[in-house]
Amino acid sequence: MNAADQTADTATGTTADTGQPRLADYTTLRLGGPARRFVSADTSEAVVAAVRAADDAGEPVLLLGGGSNLVVADDGFAGTLVRIGSTGWTRDGDVVEAAAGQEWDAFVTELVDAGLGGLECLSGIPGSVGATPIQNVGAYGCEVAESIVSVELYDRTAREIRTVPAGELGFAYRTSVLKGTERGVVLSVRFRIDPSGESAPVRYAELARTLGVEIGARVPAAQARAAVLGLRRGKGMVLDPADHDTWSAGSFFTNPIVPAADVEATLARITETAGEPPQYPADGGVKLSAAWLIERAGFGKGHPGPGGRVSLSAKHTLALTNRGGAATADLLALAREVRDGVEARFGVRLRPEPLLIGCAL
């Protein structure tokens, strides 16, 4: 953004853009049309002031952190985009508190470098700290729900700042009570860490094999982080501007959970045509591998979408990628093709993991 195109809002401590920035410039997919108004808020106080001002004006609000979990319509967002730019973290014993706008992987890096363990298996995940409790971000056998102590948020309905303990956040697989609602604006997150510098217990088989340890073992956090980053890079899951396989929103579909009442029939249908699928215990049923279902439904790595402008990643079938010059409509067309193809073949409907803004599958 050109400094000449900005106007300072001294009352709120924010900066409002007088033009129409494209969301494509702020999302990892590099897709999305313009926002009607852009506000950059670099402190929690500025975030609250910006949201309050928009609410008072009856203006829709879109909160933007790292832009790694957003699919924004080509028409953009007809409201105020508040970019959360607060950064930094502090430590009090075995609890650390990080600002919502703090880049997630930079935060994890600093923890590991400081000899603090617990979050290293979530290394390499793009986005900001504030987004992690909303979707209960997880990877390689760990979820942030296991480490979160509490979240400080601005309650837009009550118009007050509240501290919400982890037990009230309704954490479940890739979700929380904060997902799908615009009421709570995350300002900071508190995490419990391990001052010993040891990793969380290794639960993911692929990571255990890479580290050469048994499931449940603990290793130095730095060693676990290095192994996780290596695995993620091999799947195109570490951002690299030169690698179009990383121009994505990460895993586009969540692993589907089949209700207990439907497990037997669903597994029989899948096994009959594609062999026995990987399956994992889940609350209320069985969790299946979305990547496995996608591949067995005929969508291999690199499967192209409209005009070749989008495709499945050449490294990982769960990522839908922008190959350059794409539109959001192209990505959604590919997502629908994959979703509908899996459902037609196996009777299992895949659900998107990123938030869809102004668009739908």
Q: Tens of pLDDT along 160-200?
A: 999 999 999 999 999 999 998 889 999 999 999 999 999 99
Q: Look at the chain and count its residues.
A: 361
Residue 3 has pLDDT above 50, yes or no: no
Using CB atoms within 10 A of its CB, is residue 115 exposed (0-12), middle (13-18) or buried (19+)?
Answer: middle
110 in Cβ contact with 89 (< 8 Å)? yes
Average pLDDT, the chain: 93
List the catalytic residues. 174, 251, 353
Q: Judging by DSSP bridges, how do beta strands 70-72 and 355-357 pair with one another?
A: parallel
Amino acid (1-letter code) at residue 15: T
Which tokens in the block code for residue 310?
Answer: 């989008």
pLDDT in tens, 279-318: 999 988 999 999 999 999 999 999 999 999 999 999 999 9
Cβ-contact 217, 320 below 8 angstroms = no
- The β-bridge relationship of strands 142-143 and 148-155 is unpaired
Pairing status of strand 285-288 against strand 279-282: antiparallel
- In terms of Cα–Cα distance, which of 328, 318, 355, 361 is closest to 33? 328
**Mean pLDDT throughout 143-154?**
98
Residue 2 burial class via C-beta count within 10 angstroms: exposed 0-12, middle 13-18, buried 19 and up: exposed
Structure letter (DSSP) for residue 250:
S
Q: Write out pLDDT tens, residues 195-244.
A: 999 999 999 999 999 999 999 999 999 999 999 999 999 999 999 999 99
Q: Is the pLDDT of residue 4 over 60?
A: no
**In the predicted structure, residue 331 carries a pLDDT above the cut 90:** yes
Question: d(Cα 203, Cα 257) in Å, to the nearest integer?
Answer: 20
C-beta atoms surrounding 100 within 10 Å: 27
Three-state secondary structure call for residue 146:
helix
Residue 6 has pLDDT above 70, yes or no: no
Which tokens belong to 320? 């839908």
Q: Is 5 exposed, middle or buried (0-12, 13-18, 19+ CB in 10 A)?
A: exposed
pLDDT above 80 (res 65) = yes
Residue with tokens 């879109």: 62
Whether the pLDDT of residue 53 is over 70: the answer is yes
Q: Are 184 and 153 in contact (CB under 8 A)?
A: yes
pLDDT confidence band for 130 (50 / 70 / 90): very high
Side chain identity at 293, as an amino acid letter? L
Per-residue pLDDT of 89-104, as tens digits, reads 999 999 999 999 999 9
Smallest Cα–Cα separation from 104: which of 121, 80, 79?
121
- Model confidence band, residue 20 (pLDDT cutoffs 50, 70, 90): confident
For residue 283, what pLDDT is reported? 86
- Whole-number pLDDT of residue 74: 97
Distance CA 38, CA 250 (A): 25
Q: What percent of the chain has pLDDT over 70?
A: 95
Rounded to an integer, the average pLDDT of 131-143 is 95
pLDDT for residue 19: 58
pLDDT higher than threshold 80 for residue 5: no
For the cut 90, the answer to whether the pLDDT of residue 9 exceeds it is: no
